[in-house]
């Protein structure tokens, strides 16, 4: 969430930044109004608290001097002020709660270099690699859901029987391909990122720290009996791994990666293409994540984008990098890039990674700090990205590597994970 001191001291700058996202700033005005009330009530509470303490000392002195009648009179006055002080303290807490509730709904401010725009149609393409629209044969223009059924490697019909719509099941070489992609994603990043296997069921507080709650509650799976949520991405538990802690500055940037299952209800998927592996409720993904200082974050963002793009390129797939404009940003994003892979059978650019810098927006919710060396503590910055999300990469590989004479070649970099097989047939 945004720093209340920034809203207090630079209201016009914050409004201008949010206006670039097309955000109604009325809630920001309400925050400023409540903040002024809260500070005024807090001052009155503190003054009354000091007066109660002063009177308590005076009562003690009067009792010592044997002036009990005067002491009783002042003590009653102290009690009355104490009741008022408690009421003011309660009101202060109420106002703080209202302010926090509003701040949890107000999006992050975009980076000055983030492109302006109203929707995904305004996202500029930064670069395209390996794409030749005329370079694909007819055998590659078959969508993966047809190839999956043909070769018995995608069995969504039985997955739906087991779990309902928008669940998938990979079999035979398709299952091996899914597992290989996960392991390859981990191996590609092992030199720079500590591997973590976090829980995939988390508390509401954990989901709130990343910005998923309260805004995106409808997209998440809630286990109501235990008040736990299924994670939509490993970003969620990794962000909260150091919640309410102070990280040693020498450890920054602190980089972690995790391979987990992810769960999304896709509440807004009506009318979207959900065939094959394009949009599913459950999928596997390798996530990379970092805590950093504000100075480290920009270069780290560039490095993460390049690393994800290079991983897709190493699989022999065409890809492009798109920068997300202000009107298309997620709530928590400060600056963000998507890596999209081209799937010739579906004839679509498919988003396979979103690499984002959140500034201090997430870590402020989680109270994650470091010592900058100037005394005191500061909020860390967080960054994350999908190092390798299985479903759409799987789809692009099946379509791209389909042979004219039948079967699907295994990308060279995945051969070590295929138990000697070179082709899915």
* Per-residue pLDDT reduced to its tens digit, 43-60: 999 999 898 888 888 877
Lowest mean pLDDT, pick from 69-83, 222-236, 246-260: 69-83
**What SS3 state is found at 183?**
helix
Rg (the chain; Cα; Å): 27
Element (H, E) at 77: helix 68-103
Give the least confident one: 51-55, 123-127, 337-341: 51-55
Look at residues 350, 424, 410, 407 and name the one whose alpha carbon lies nearest to residue 181.
Answer: 410
pLDDT for 419 equals 94
Share of the chain above pLDDT 90, in %: 84
Q: At residue 320, what are phi and psi to the nearest 5 degrees?
A: -140, 155
For the chain, how many helices (H) and strands (E)?
A: 12, 16
CA distance 397 to 241: 34
Dihedral Cα 78, 83, 85, 91, nearest 10 deg: -170
Check residues 168 and 24 and name the one with the higher pLDDT. 168
The pLDDT score that the predictor gives to residue 204 is 93
Q: pLDDT grade, residue 269 (50/70/90)?
A: low
Residues 318, 323, 328: CA angle, nearest 5 degrees: 120
Phi, psi of 296 (to 5 degrees): -80, -25
What is the torsional sign of CA 388, 394, 395, 396? positive
Q: What is the pLDDT of residues 157-190, one digit of tens each?
A: 999 999 999 999 999 999 999 999 999 999 999 9
Peptide bond before 142: cis, by omega within 30 degrees of 0? no
Q: Is the pLDDT of residue 239 over 90?
A: yes
Please, where are the H alpha helices in 104-198?
144-150, 156-163, 173-189
For the entire predicted model, the pTM comes to 0.91
pLDDT confidence of residue 270: 59
Q: What is the DSSP letter of 63?
A: H
- Flag whether pLDDT at 118 surpasses 70: yes
**pLDDT at site 315:** 98
Position 271 confidence tier, pLDDT thresholds 50, 70, 90: low
pLDDT above 90 (res 132): yes
Among the listed residues 34, 32, 7, 29, the one whose alpha carbon sits nearest the alpha carbon of residue 108: 7
pLDDT tens-place string over residues 392-412: 999 999 999 999 999 999 999
149 CB contacts (<8 Å, ≥6 apart)?
none
Segment 201-225 shows an average pLDDT of: 89
- pLDDT at 24 > cutoff 90: no
Residue 217's pLDDT band, with cuts at 50, 70 and 90, is confident
- Closest to 143 measured CA to CA, from 347, 281, 317: 347
Per-residue pLDDT, 268: 62
Contact 2, 109 (CB under 8 A): yes
- Pairing assessment for the beta strands 378-379 and 369-370 based on DSSP bridges: antiparallel
Alpha carbon distance 3, 253 (integer Å): 22
Q: What are the DSSP calls for 236-262, one per residue?
A: HHHHTTTTT-EE-GGG-SEEEEEEEEE
Q: Can you tell me the mean pLDDT for 121-138?
A: 97
As a whole number, mean pLDDT of residues 137-156 equals 97
Delineate the domains of the chain, giving CATH numbers in brackets.
4-103 (1.10.287.40), 120-424 (3.30.930.10)
Q: What is the average pLDDT value for the chain, to the nearest integer?
A: 94
- Specify the pLDDT at position 40: 96
């Amino acid at each position: 969430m945004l720093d209340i001191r920034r809203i207090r001291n630079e209201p016009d700058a914050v409004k201008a930044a949010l206006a670039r996202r097309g955000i109604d700033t009325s809630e920001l005005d309400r925050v400023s109004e409540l903040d002024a009330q809260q500070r005024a009530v807090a001052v009155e509470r503190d003054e009354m608290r000091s007066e109660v303490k002063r009177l308590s000392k005076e009562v003690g002195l009067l009792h010592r001097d044997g002036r009990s009648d005067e002491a009783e009179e002042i003590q009653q006055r102290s009690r009355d002020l104490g009741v008022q002080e408690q009421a003011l303290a309660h009101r202060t807490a109420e106002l703080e709660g209202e302010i926090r509730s509003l701040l949890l709904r107000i999006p992050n401010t975009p980076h000055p270099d983030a492109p302006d725009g109203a929707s995904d149609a305004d996202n500029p393409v930064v670069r395209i690699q390996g794409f030749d629209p005329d370079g694909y044969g007819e055998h590659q223009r078959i969508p993966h859901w047809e190839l999956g059924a043909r070769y018995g490697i995608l069995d969504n019909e039985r997955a739906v029987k087991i779990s309902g719509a928008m669940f998938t099941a990979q079999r035979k070489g398709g299952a091996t391909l899914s597992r290989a992609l996960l392991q390859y994603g981990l191996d590609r990043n092992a030199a720079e990122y500590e591997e973590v296997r976090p829980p995939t069921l988390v508390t509401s507080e954990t989901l709130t720290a990343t910005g998923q709650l309260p805004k995106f509650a409808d997209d998440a799976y809630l286990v109501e009996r235990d008040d736990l949520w299924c994670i939509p991405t490993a970003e969620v538990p990794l962000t909260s791994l150091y919640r309410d802690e102070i990280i040693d500055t020498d450890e920054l940037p602190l980089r972690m990666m995790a391979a987990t299952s992810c769960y999304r209800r896709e509440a807004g998927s009506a009318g979207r293409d959900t065939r094959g592996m394009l949009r599913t409720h459950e999928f596997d993904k390798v996530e990379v994540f970092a805590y950093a200082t504000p100075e480290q974050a920009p270069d780290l963002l560039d490095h993460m984008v390049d690393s994800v793009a290079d991983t897709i390129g190493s699989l022999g797939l065409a890809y492009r990098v798109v920068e997300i404009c202000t009107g298309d940003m997620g709530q928590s994003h400060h600056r963000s890039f998507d890596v999209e892979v081209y799937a010739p059978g579906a004839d679509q650019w498919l988003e396979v990674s979103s690499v984002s810098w959140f500034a201090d927006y997430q870590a402020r919710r989680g109270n994650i700090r470091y010592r900058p060396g100037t005394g005191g503590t500061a909020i860390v910055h967080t960054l994350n990205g999908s190092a390798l999300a299985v479903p759409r990469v799987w789809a692009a590989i099946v379509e791209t590597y389909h042979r004219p004479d039948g079967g699907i070649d295994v990308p060279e970099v995945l051969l070590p994970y295929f138990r000697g097989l070179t082709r899915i047939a």
